[in-house]
A and B are shown apart, each in its own frame.
Chain A
Amino acid sequence: MRGLLVLTVAGGSVAHATLTPLVSVRDVTPDLPLIMVVLLALRRGPEFGCLAGFVTGLLQDAAGGGLIGVQALTKAIIGFGIGVAGERLRVSQPLVQVPGLVVLTILEGLARFALLQIFRFPAPFGELMIYVVLPQAVFNGFVGAAVVLSLAASQVVRERFAGLPS
């Protein structure tokens, strides 16, 4: 199970760089690793979320060709934060998770921008927010909703089959 999770995290983040351009809408792509980190952190807790965020972010950085460590840092923090929130708050409802994903995408964008500023990497704030972060946040919301709903559906099916007498 743990191996499968590692494979999901590692493979998913590399797949993001390779496959998401194919599902882009007007050049906007969803941040699949972020969605994955958030959902995993909610189910597995802060340590797993933090580690998953770190690994996926690192691989995303390596695959994307930017500064290595930027997304690893932001996603590790998000994975940790969401894991802690999942333990203390009621965040299991899709109506919370989906808007949460949108907000988290924006927060991740802001954090990434701040890091790039600290490490003197040129990035125009306004354009980044308008053309990259906000559309991606909306896209993540839609994709996240689809993922959450399909997970909930699969959970229902699994429970129904588990209840059947053998």
Chain B
Amino acid sequence: MKIQKLLLLVTLVGVCLLLLTLQTRGYGAAARDALTMVTAPVQTGLARASRATFGLWSTYLDWKNVRAENHRLREEVQQLRVRALRVDDTDVENQRLRRLLGLQEKLPLTTLSGEIIGREWGGWIRSLTVNRGRGDNIPRLSAVISPDGLVGRIVDVRPGASIVQVLTDPASTVGAVVLRTRTPGIVEGDPRGTLRFKFMARDGASIQSGDVLVTAGQGGLFPRGIPIGTVRTIDNRGSALFHFADLAPAVDYARVDEVLLVTGDTQRDLTAFFPAGG
């Protein structure tokens, strides 16, 4: 038994040595070819299987990387969007301030710029809070304007802030004229948040939709010629003494951010200084 084992070992060692000797003498090609015929197909199959497996794995890794990258890029896009919005916002604010400054410079009035810091937008009261108050010597009932037209008037002056009654406030009334026909009337605030022009039927016979209304400037509070709104529809009440017209306000009160407070002389005609009024 022991000899058999040794014989096996010696035989195999002998075969190996023979193979090695043959190869070093240049006769090993046939043996190598024969072995390759056996091993090559198995290797091919295994290589394909491993490639498929690792291909799947690398596809998974790629997918994972793409997912992570996608997440990162989404965050980056989000940040860039926020930054772009900030830039847009700054740009819009810049334009608004330029317009306001331009108006302030060209108006023949003493004005003070102010920033809207609060809004009361319920149906009962429609007012804005502006960051100019008693310390700025703001007189009560000062006119408040924007580059688009009249916003309202100061109704309460407090330390550091003032309350502006907006034209759409139900308690607000302003003397106005139709720019084209010079028809006089009163612009009132409406509880629905709109403006209406109340005028005598006899005087307003020729008022049309699209007519521009400006301040009349007769009460001494508002300078003359500040745009208030545009006639949208006319409510013809037949033989009634007064007729009404719905107005589209010249100013978007909900979005106005900067205003001018007229603090000095108000006896001037400003029609030429507002493009909407001309």
A73 at the interface (CB under 8 A from B): yes
| B18, chain A: closest CB distance, angstroms | 8
Which listed residue (A22, A46, A59, A73) contacts B39, Cβ 8 A? Answer: A59
Closest Cβ neighbor of A71 among chain B residues: B16
A160 interface contact, C-beta 8 A: no
Tell me, in angstroms, the Cα distance from A71 to B50 when the chains sit together. Answer: 25
A67 to B20, Cβ gap below 8 A? Answer: yes
Interface residue A114 (Cβ < 8 Å from any Cβ of B): no
User: Which residue, B4, B20, B43, B46, has most C-beta atoms of chain A within 10 A?
Assistant: B20
- With A and B bound together, what is the CA distance between A50 and B6 in angstroms? 10
Contact, CB under 8 Å: B13 / A77: yes
Q: A18: CB under 8 A from chain B? A: yes
Q: Does A31 belong to the interface (CB within 8 Å)?
A: no
Among B13, B17, B20, B50, which residue has its beta carbon within 8 angstroms of that of A18?
B50
Q: Judge if B31 is at the interface, Cβ distance under 8 Å.
A: yes
B5 and A46 within 8 A (CB): yes
Residues from chain B with a CB closer than 8 A to the CB of A138 are: none
Verify if B272 is at the interface (C-beta below 8 Å from A): no
* With contact pairs A14-B46, A22-B54, A68-B32 given, residues A62 and B39 touching in the complex (Cβ less than 8 Å): yes
> How far apart are B77's CB and chain A's nearest CB, in angstroms?
38
The size bracket of the interface on A is 20 to 34
- Nearest B residue to A55, CB-CB: B12
* Contact partners of A51 in chain B: CB under 8 A: 8, 12
Q: Mark A4-26, 1 if CB is under 8 A from B, else 0.
A: 00000011001101110010000
How many angstroms from the CA of A77 to the CA of B9 in the assembled complex?
A: 7
In the bound complex, what is the Cα–Cα distance between A141 and B42 (angstroms)? 28
What is the bound-complex CA distance between A77 and B23, given in angstroms? Answer: 21
Please state if A76 and B13 are interface contacts (CB–CB under 8 Å): yes
In angstroms, how far is the closest chain A Cβ from the Cβ of B54?
7
Of the candidates B13, B20, B47, which one forms a contact with A119 in the assembled complex, judged by CB atoms under 8 Å apart?
A: B20
- B121 to chain A minimum Cβ distance, whole angstroms, is 70
Cβ of A62: which chain B residues have Cβ within 8 Å of it?
A: 32, 35-36, 38-39
Contact B5 A22 (CB under 8 A): no
Q: Does B19 contact A (CB under 8 A)?
A: yes
Residue of chain A at shortest CB distance from B18: A69
- B-contacting residues, A43-61, CB 8 Å: 46-47, 50-51, 54, 58-59, 61
